[in-house]
Every structure is written in structure tokens, then in C-alpha cells.
Amino acid sequence: MSDTYIQNLIAERIGGNQYGKSHAIYKFEKIKRAKRAAMALDPGAEIIDLGVGEPDEMAFPEVVEKLCAEARKPENRGYADNGDGVLKQAAAHYLERVCGVKGLNPEKEVMHSIGSKAALSILPAALINPGDYVLMTVPGYPVFGTHAQYYSGRVHNLPLTEENQFLPDLDAIPAEVLGQAKVLVLNYPNNPTGASATPEFFKKVVEFARKNNLVVIHDAAYAALVFEGQPLSFLATPGAKEVGIELHSASKTFNMTGWRCGFVAGNELLVKAYGDLKDNTDSGQFLAIQHAAAYCFEHPEITENIASKYSRRMNALTVALAKAGFKAKKPKGSFFLYVRAPKAAISKDGERTEFKSAEEVSQWLITEKLISTVPWDDAGHYLRWSVTFVAKNLSDESRIVGEVEHRLGDVKFEF
């Protein structure tokens, strides 16, 4: 394709006149291609997909019913703009009841989002001037950092390591970065490590933010998917509302990824700024969807039900991977099992395959074992195994995990 004048008009932030010309293939595309190639070689084979980052089931029937009923109401038909009071009230009530967050003002301190991804892409406009640093954890969900860079902000990565329980080492941030840093983005339970934060860590974060004039954005997309105890909200930390906001979403916690609904809560000025920018970005989520999401936040037992399924699957998968030699430890929440990638695999007939990265292991697992995982090479070499695989029923669920164990059973991994 020869260059047109359009090519020269593309903004530098996405590559300018080089946009679209790179032949680099990114991680998720490599996984897709390897799956396609494996299927082409053996069309009848079953690929076990443990790489999926979203729930395997539909929203609960009563939620779908609620959506239908709300969609029939004429008053819900128009632009929702920044939303009515229904989701705001439900969100504040949810945070109080489920996470012990007291005293949130639903009118001023809560605002809906068209999913957390949308909120993370809008918020940098409220905070980032050219040259400002954003502190982002890696591996992680990069959306806020990507948009901060669109505004000529800079990203400083905070590695999440096993030695530090996958919590960032705030004391290791260089002084010259900290001096120009404005925002700290956190996400617990964490994608991809599955790690959870602790009240002590959040307390430290509040103190750190105050001392260094930082805004904290806690992305709580997996917040209520916990296997023991109560979900932990950053906003339950004393002083949290003075330094930041938290993003909740119906996507993972209520099997509603395609519905696109969540909320932003916390610091009044930040919520207001988010609302002003949002108002200039979208016209709000369909009120029927907002009201169905509000129903969910009033029924946290739905998430408990979903979490107990993931917990059961996690138990089985942890055992299966441990038998194959992986150091698999069940996380306290999320649906991700994050395990160190092997350095080599030795097959029964003695053939040895060496791996330089988790990406190579993941490609090998698809090609040789028809098992799909997501590799992460940002801070050590790890594989993310997701328990949101599709199974017809309980016995199919056991069969699938048994199949993983069986397929890995004739290999010796070296770590």
C-alpha cells in the first residue's frame, strides 16, 4: 500500500507516518495464531483454553429479567448522560455493606462508568500534563498509562514480584521520578498475578500518597471475587477518600463484561472532574443497563456464588499443576492462577526443549499440549492460567482439569 496524505496526518502518539507499517506481532495475536495453527493440524482436537480473561457464563437470569423490564420503560430510553441516582445509591450501599466503606455521598462521590476500561481512559485527561509521571504496576492492565502517554505523560513501572507478595515496593521509586509523579495506579485482586492487597499495604499507600502529593486510582475490577473473608476496598482505609478513587465494575463480578457498566467512587473533586470529562466523551450507559447493574450491586450474593465456583476450580487446577511440578499456589481472589514458567521441558523419550521466556512456554503448550495460557515476561517469567474455561457441568469441569493433568503428565519440567 503506497502512502496517501492520510498517512502523514496520523498523530505521532500512535506512530505518525509509520503507523500501521510495523510487522511486530503482539502477545495475544501470537496466541491466537498458535491456536489456529494447532487446530489446522488436528481439526478434531480439543484446545483447553485457560487464557481467557473474562467469565465463562452469562449474567444470572434474574439480572437479564431486570434488564428486560427496565428496557421496556419509556423513561429509560434516552441519553443517560452522567446517570440518575439509582446506580449511585446502589454503589454507595454496596461499598458500605460489602466492604465497610462508611459515609460515601452517592450524589457527589459516585459516578457510573461504561466499564472500568472507559474510566481508566478518561481519567488521565483530568490529571496528566506533559512530563507528569504515572506509577503503574507491571505486569498489569496498561490502559491508564497508555492514555497518560497520549497526553505526553510518562510511565514509571513498578515491578510486582513474588518476593514482595506482588505488591509494589513504593520505597524503591527513584526520588527524581517521585518528584514529578502525580498518579499511582493499583489493582487488587490483581490481574494477572491474582495477588490481594492488605489493609496494612493500603494504609501505607494513603500515607505515601499524602507525603508525595499523589492521586491513587485503585482499579477494583476483581474486588469482590475473593475466596476467603470479605472483599477489601481501598476506600475502607482511613483517609483514602482524601487521596483517591476506586473503580468497580459489573464485568467480572457479575458475569457482565459485554454489558459495560461500573462506577467510580471516592474523592469528590476527582469524581467531579471524571464526570465533566465523561460528559464530553460519552452520553452515559443505557439506563436499563445501569439499573440492572444497580440490581447486582444490591445482590452481592451473586458474586459470592460466582467466586465459589472459581474457588472450586482453582483448588483442582492448583493440584493438577503442582503434580506437573509447577509451584502453584491458590490466590485469595480473582480468577487467575499465576505460576512461574519452566526453563525447560523434557519429554518421555528424553527430548529436551529449552525456553527463554514465558512466551516460548505458552507457544509450546499450545502447539504440543493444546493448552492455551497467557505468558507474562515483564517481571520474571510467568504463565497466567484462568479458571474461566468453558465447561458444560461439574463433571465436565473435572474432566477438563483432569485432561490438563493428563496432558502435562508425560513431561518433566525444569524451573
Contacts to ligand PLP by CB under 6 A: 53, 115-117, 141, 187, 191, 219, 221, 249, 251, 257, 262
Residue 150's H or E segment, with its range, is helix 143-150
Residue carrying the nine cell digits 492448583: 318
CB of 206 to ligand PLP, least distance (A): 21
Which residue in this structure is represented by grid cell 487467575?
336
Cα 187-189-190 angle, rounded to 5 deg: 55
Q: How far is the CB of 210 from ligand PLP (least distance, A)?
A: 25
In angstroms, the CA 313 to CA 326 distance is 17
Cβ-based nearer residue to ligand PLP, 126 or 322 = 126
Least distance to ligand PLP, CB of residue 122, Å: 12
Nearest distance from residue 53's CB to ligand PLP, in Å? 5
Considering the complex, what minimum distance in angstroms separates the CB of residue 192 from ligand PLP?
8
Q: Chain-centre distance of CA 239, in angstroms?
A: 25
Pairing relationship of beta strands 244-249 and 262-266 according to DSSP bridges:
antiparallel
Query: Taking the chain, what is the end-to-end CA distance rounded to the nearest angstrom?
Result: 46
- Written as one string, the DSSP assignment of 106-143 is HHHHEEEESSHHHHHHHTHHHHPPTT-EEEEEESS--H
Please calculate the CA angle 211-123-137 and round it to the nearest 5 degrees: 60
Q: Which residue's CB comes closest to ligand PLP? A: 115
Nearest to 386 by CA among 375, 377, 373, 376: 373
Instruction: Show the 3-state SS of 279-331.
Output: HCCCCCCCHHHHHHHHHHHCCCHHHHHHHHHHHHHHHHHHHHHHHCCCCCCCC
Closest separation in Å from C-beta 187 to ligand PLP? 5
Other beta carbons within 10 angstroms of residue 315's beta carbon come to: 14
Residues in the chain: 415
Which C-beta is closer to ligand PLP: that of 95 or that of 408? 95
Considering the complex, what minimum distance in angstroms separates the CB of residue 39 from ligand PLP? 25
Q: How far is the CB of 126 from ligand PLP (least distance, A)?
A: 18
Q: Which is nearer to ligand PLP, 115 or 342 (CB)?
A: 115
